[in-house]
Structure 1
């Protein structure tokens, strides 16, 4: 696989983008994959899916081994479009300092991909923070249902980052459950990255586990008091997709003051918090 022209631009942007306090840079790579950059030139990659598989709707923007400057990789669960063995192996190979935060269910697979045990951080939902230089915490997710064991904890997680004066929630794969709204409201989330592809009987029959749908994601953003919402998980597989314009229509018709941004493919989006420009 060769990197695209836009892929080369992304790699250049990752190195050159300077992110002031109260802001965060987000690159959307498709499906649930995002790159985040804040202060200290640190970069976090969540659910990198860069395998050039033939069943993708579109090719990844670059080869995973070109991501040489990733500080943290956050994995929400062990499905291959979230824990992509190709991407994990490549990132681990080119930077032996990268830390991989993931549920304990992922440990064996991460090590099979060449991640050293000392570079694996358990996504323990009982901890206040899994890491502290970039403050990252794991919270439970219900990929239609919870899966939990006393030994390994939750199989599915989302992540909250408190970084550079911005609170970000990346949901991973999840439906809405009773405590989620309360948790997000207490966290005062600025930017929520939410799946919108939904679920139904026929996809379940094909063993495709689902997520919240467009209406649920929109209502979650509003109920939780999220400042800005970005939809994810709608564009990669023909049989498990959604049209992101539907969430724009839903907000326009029901909550016209709610901010939502649909990222263009491989776009760099700069989030500016409500506090960033005060007193400037």
Structure 2
């Protein structure tokens, strides 16, 4: 029996540096303090006051994209649609109106998805980074079950998918550093510094992590959710360089520095994994923190200019094609509250 790369003790997963232990009495009081901030603290600009621009996607538009290239489309938050040499893949697909266990309560979408889930073509692969509601959407998984060949998930999430109607032969579950060969490359599940859980009593019972995609002549890194940690350099040393990094940049705060990155750390993570072009994700769709909704994009845009890092900030639904000149804009500037 092989030794697992992840740390699993007392029926719970742990980070490499053990900064995020299983939920405890101390974390309960910390969560209570954060909740009080939401009630007491005045928050400014956390919701857009104007419609966020979305470029509509249609089946015919997707079909017209070349099958000899790799295309990336930001659908919202950390949800992405990829056309990988003719195959359609989804990363952390969330289509529900709220990132919540309740349809009537919790963070509500700022904008619609560029395409309805029913209009999506047949999906070859769905990749899930971890089980939080803004990354694992139960209703989306159920809707995708009949039109998806493979679900690639961290250890423990396979059991959830079986409960939701996905057949066992469709599901592949991964420990950190495990790889799956594909026709023109491979996919690897790599570490992150985060935590998991969808309700009371299930904290850290499923694994969390990031994804490496090597397909044809291109390579992509998807960070999932993570605090800044030395593991990014390990990923870069083993799998870099990357043509494109999809790095969490948003929903950060002084009260959770170990599990979400400030924009400065997001940029450093991009550099650590040896990324060539960075696309910030985990922003612009849900109110999950205390900062203005546009602040992550503002900060990372400024930092990238200062450090001469190539940055892509596409509108939701805009197609990015690797290996070509992609033009994006600071589309959020005109929507900022005055």
Q: TM-score, normalised by structure 1?
A: 0.81
Residue in structure 2 matched with residue 89 of structure 1 by the alignment: 142
Q: Is the 8 A contact 2:109 2:286 kept in 1?
A: yes
Match of 1:47 among 77, 92, 101: 92
2:73 aligned to which of 27, 30, 37: 27
Which residue of structure 1 aligns with residue 180 of structure 2? 130
Rounded to whole Å, the distance in 2 between the matches of 1:105 and 1:227 is 33
> Is the partner of 1:272 in helix, strand or coil?
coil
CA distance in 1, matches of 2:169, 2:281: 31
> Which of 146, 159, 166 is 2:218 aligned to?
166
1:38 counterpart = 2:84? yes
Shift of 1:11: 2.8
Paired residues, what number? 252
Whether 2:265 is the aligned partner of 1:216: answer yes
Q: Distance in 1 between matches of 2:173 and 2:252?
A: 28
Structure number having the greater helix percentage: 1
Alpha-carbon shift at residue 223 of structure 1 (Å): 3.5
Q: Distance in 1 between matches of 2:305 and 2:143?
A: 42
Equivalent position of 1:278 in the other structure: none
Q: Report 1:268-279 matches (<5 A).
A: 268-272=319-323
1:17 matches 2:69: no
> 2:160 aligns to what SS in structure 1?
helix
**What pairs with 1:1-280 in structure 2 (closer than 5 Å)?**
6-7=55-56, 9-20=57-68, 23-39=69-85, 41-53=86-98, 55-93=108-146, 95=147, 97-127=148-178, 129-133=179-183, 135-143=186-194, 155-187=207-239, 188-202=241-255, 204=256, 210-240=259-289, 241=293, 242-253=295-306, 255-256=307-308, 258-272=309-323
Q: State whether residues 55 and 318 of structure 2, in contact with CA within 8 Å, keep that contact through their aligned partners in structure 1.
A: no
| CA RMSD, 1 decimal | 2.7
Structure 2 CA distance for partners of 1:61 and 1:228, relative to 1, 3 Å? same
Given that 1:144 and 1:211 are in contact with CA atoms closer than 8 Å, whether structure 2 keeps it comes out as no
Could you tell me whether the CA contact under 8 Å between 2:227 and 2:258 is conserved in 1?
Answer: no
Q: Report which stretch shifted further, 193-202 or 152-161.
A: 152-161
On the 8 A contact 2:150/2:170 being kept in 1, the answer is yes
1:131 and 1:154 map into 2 onto residues whose CA distance is 23
Inter-partner Cα distance in structure 2 for 1:11 and 1:77: 28
Cα distance between partner residues in 1 of 2:74 and 2:174: 23
Contact 2:54 2:317 in 1 (8 A): no
How big is the shift at 1:229?
0.4
Q: CA deviation at 1:198?
A: 4.9
Q: How many Å apart are 1:265 and its aligned residue?
A: 1.8
In 1, the alpha carbon distance for the partners of 2:251 and 2:112 equals 23
Report how far residue 104 of structure 1 moved: 2.2
1:10 CA drift (Å): 4.0
Q: Deviations over 1:135-155 (max 9, x none)?
A: 21101111169xxxxxx9971
| Bigger-Rg structure (1/2) | 2
- Scaled by the length of structure 2, what TM-score is found? 0.68
